[in-house]
Every structure is written in C-alpha cells, then in structure tokens.
Amino acid sequence: MTKVIILGSANSIADAQHENTHLAIQGAQEFILVDCVSTPIVRLEQAGLDHNHLHHLILTHTHPDHISGVPLLLMNMWLLGRRHLLNVYGLEDTLTLIQNMMHAFGWESWPNFFPVNFHILPEERLTLALETDELSIYASPVKHLLPTIGLRIELKNSEKVCAYSCDTEPCDAVEKLAAGADILIHEATGEMIGHSSARQAGTTAQRAQAKSLYLIHYNPRDENYRNLPEQAKENYSGNVILAEDFMAIEIS
C-alpha cells in the first residue's frame, strides 16, 4: 500500500496544531520526503516513519516554510549514525541555496558524513524526477513567486495517480499534473499573487477531472478555515477534504 502522509498542512505561519506544509510518500520499503521543516526527525517519528528508510528528498522551492528543516535533518541523521546515501531533488536555484546553507554550517568538516547526491531538475513540464520499484514522480514548474515545482505521482502496479500543486496560482501546468488524478492535493492559501484560493483549487480539480481534492497550505489562524471545503465545492463536483497534520491519504 502506498500513501501520502501529511506532515504539515499550514501555510507560512504555523500554529500549535498545524505545522508548515510538507509531505511523506510512504511505500512498502521506503518513503520519500517532500519539503522539510520544523524538527524533522521528531516529526517523522510522530508520523511513524523511520528516517533510516528515507532515501529521497524532493524540495519544491526555496521559501523557508518549505526547506528550513533541511540542515537539521541532515545533521540529526548523521549524529544518529546514518551512513547510506540520500538523494536530494529540486530546481537549480533550490539546490544551490541548500548547499550554500550547508556550507555555512561547515558540513565539509563533519567527520564520516553520509553521501548526499543532488539531482538538478530541469524547468520543463512533466520531467521524470525520480523512479522507484513502486512509483514514478514527475515534476513541472508551477506559477509561484519564485521557481517552484508541483508533482505527479504515478503508481506502477495500480496505475493510481496523486498530484500535488505546491504553492501556485491557477495555471495550466497544475491541470496537466492533475489530469485524471485519483487525488489532487492543492494549496488553498487565498486568491493572491503566487497562490490559490479554495474556490480556485476547486476549479482546477474540476478542469483536471481529478476524482478527489485535498486542500492544504491554508491559514489555520483564520477562524473560518474549516469552511474551505465548502468554498471549493462551489466549483468542483467531487469529494473535498481539508488536509490535517498526520492525515494518511491512501493512494492504493
């Protein structure tokens, strides 16, 4: 069984119940982390995930509410005895920033540090980001305030599909990522430059003919945030669910 675990569902300002948005894609043998914030090892343990089974980290863009936890993740795994490879994927700007962050912390001098391979993804639509025995993940540039990727996860055995918009305005790229998807996880920050409202997420899901819609990256400090699914339903005929921290979404 493959599932997406919501490690955080908030927009850039978290609260006590909602961490900044990041996800884990859990398969039978390993899991893939999408973005990294907070105190990562603790967050993974709370979700029942063993960091030793983490082999791939996808970083969507350089905003701190998506990548601020990377140095702590790398340091903590090293201190806990990790010695096997970690693959990190992202656009060139994103990976350059991460490497500069790690240089600032002097990671070159950390003895017996485990190998890290950085994989630069081209800014091209539906480029194959990574492939495992269980799934393939494709990335496309979306329309945010800076270079950002959304994702399409295709399972090999069941042919099920899950798409993730990441932070974006409504755009054709997200519709292509979500085309015919069983699950679309779409941000619902609000109607503004670089972001989408719940209503706009509903429109995208409807155009993509996605079978279900999960709203994420919303403002949990807004007392009306639980009304977001009803707003999405104004433009979408499928099932709409508000993503919450530690929710597990079964893809197959």
For residue 192, give the 3-state DSSP assignment.
Answer: strand
For residue 62, give the 3-state DSSP assignment.
Answer: coil
Residue stretches of the chain with pLDDT short of 50: none
- DSSP class of residue 147? S
The answer to whether 214 touches 186, Cβ cutoff 8 Å, is yes
Q: How many Cβ atoms are within 10 Å of 54's Cβ, its own excluded?
A: 22
The answer to whether 57 touches 87, Cβ cutoff 8 Å, is yes
Strands 161-164 and 183-187: parallel
In the chain, the N- to C-terminal Cα span, in Å, equals: 6
| CATH code for the domain in which residue 87 is found | 3.60.15.10
Q: How far is CA 88 from the centre of its chain?
A: 13
Backbone angles phi, psi at 67, to 5 degrees: -130, 5
For residue 56, give the 3-state DSSP assignment.
Answer: strand
The residue range of the domain holding 200 is 3-250
Closest to 142 measured CA to CA, from 179, 174, 100, 190: 174
Give me the sign of the Cα torsion angle 187, 57, 183, 61.
Answer: positive
Where in the chain does DSSP place strands (E)? 3-8, 22-26, 31-34, 54-58, 86-90, 116-120, 127-131, 135-141, 149-155, 161-164, 183-187, 212-216, 239-242, 248-250
Domain total for the chain? Answer: 1
What local confidence, expressed as pLDDT, does residue 138 receive?
A: 98
Residue 174: what residue type?
A: V
What local confidence, expressed as pLDDT, does residue 252 receive?
A: 83
Closest to 184 measured CA to CA, from 214, 140, 160: 214
The answer to whether 39 touches 47, Cβ cutoff 8 Å, is no
What local confidence, expressed as pLDDT, does residue 235 receive?
A: 98
Give me the sign of the Cα torsion angle 95, 10, 250, 29.
Answer: positive
Tens of pLDDT, residues 88-123? 999 999 999 999 999 999 999 999 999 999 999 999
